[in-house]
Homo-oligomer: A and B are copies of this chain.
Amino acid sequence: MNKNITPQTLQRLPLYLSYLKSLPKKGGSVYVSATAIAEALSLNDVQVRKDLASVSSKGRPKVGYVIVELIEDINRFLGFNSKKGVIIAGAGNIGRSLLSYEGFSDYGLEVIAGFDTNKELIGTRLGGKPVYPVEDMKAFCQREHITTGIITVPEDAAQEMCDIMVSAGITAVLNFAPVHLTAPEGVTVRNENIAIALAMLSKHSMKLPE
């Protein structure tokens, strides 16, 4: 196993993971081959074979990989088996659904708190998670060593919220506000504009990269 994989391989691993997890748990085969994965995902099978070999040494000639073992190896390689805390700024509709979303734990993420400016929400729990005032975000993130934040505030408050997160030590930001956010070097922002992604899909049959 080799930790020095290319960004392209790193990018494909989650795709393999999604596919492997979508295979039937009962009734299907215990094994999966690189060729079968390549075919299902329309990828080159030499590439898939190489990618898998770089994260798991358990592949066997002819039969391939035991599905659950391969899932485990990819999870371990990607660090999805160790927990990392996440905070959410904005406890509106999208914020609430993410606060109560249980799918994060499969990928080693745990949403631990929400932050809002609305006095009626502060002090309550949403999706079982506490909602704190935005003023407390910086101290909270530093104390809990949080480096990942989600922004679901209205667009005119999003850049300011991003700046607060950066000052709190956050280095990975997932932004759902429909506005392009900027952050200093060393901070990665993914602008997740669902409406644009859907519009390009709907009107141009195009999958937008970001």
Give A202 Cβ to nearest chain B Cβ, in Å. 4
Q: List chain B residues, Cβ under 8 A from A205.
A: 171-172, 188
Q: Is A145 an interface residue (CB 8 A)?
A: no
Among the listed B148, B180, B201, which residue makes an inter-chain contact with A190, where contact means beta carbons less than 8 Å apart? B201
Contact (Cβ within 8 A) A209 B148: no
Chain B residues near A62: list those with CB within 8 A: none
Which residues does chain B contribute within 8 Å of A173, judged by CB atoms?
201
**Given that A188-B201, A190-B201, A203-B78 are known contacts, is A195 also in contact with B106, CB under 8 Å in the complex?**
yes
Contact of A78 among B150, B172, B179, B204 (CB under 8 A): B204
A113 to B190 Cα, complex, angstroms: 29
A108 touches B (CB below 8 Å):
yes
Task: Assess the A195–B78 pair: CB atoms within 8 A.
Answer: no
Closest to A174 in B: B198
With A14-B193, A93-B101, A188-B205 as given contacts, are A21 and B107 in contact (CB-CB < 8 Å)?
no
Which A144-177 residues have a C-beta within 8 angstroms of B? Answer: 147-148, 150, 155, 159, 171-174
Q: Determine the chain B residues whose CB is within 8 A of the CB of A171 once the complex forms.
A: 205
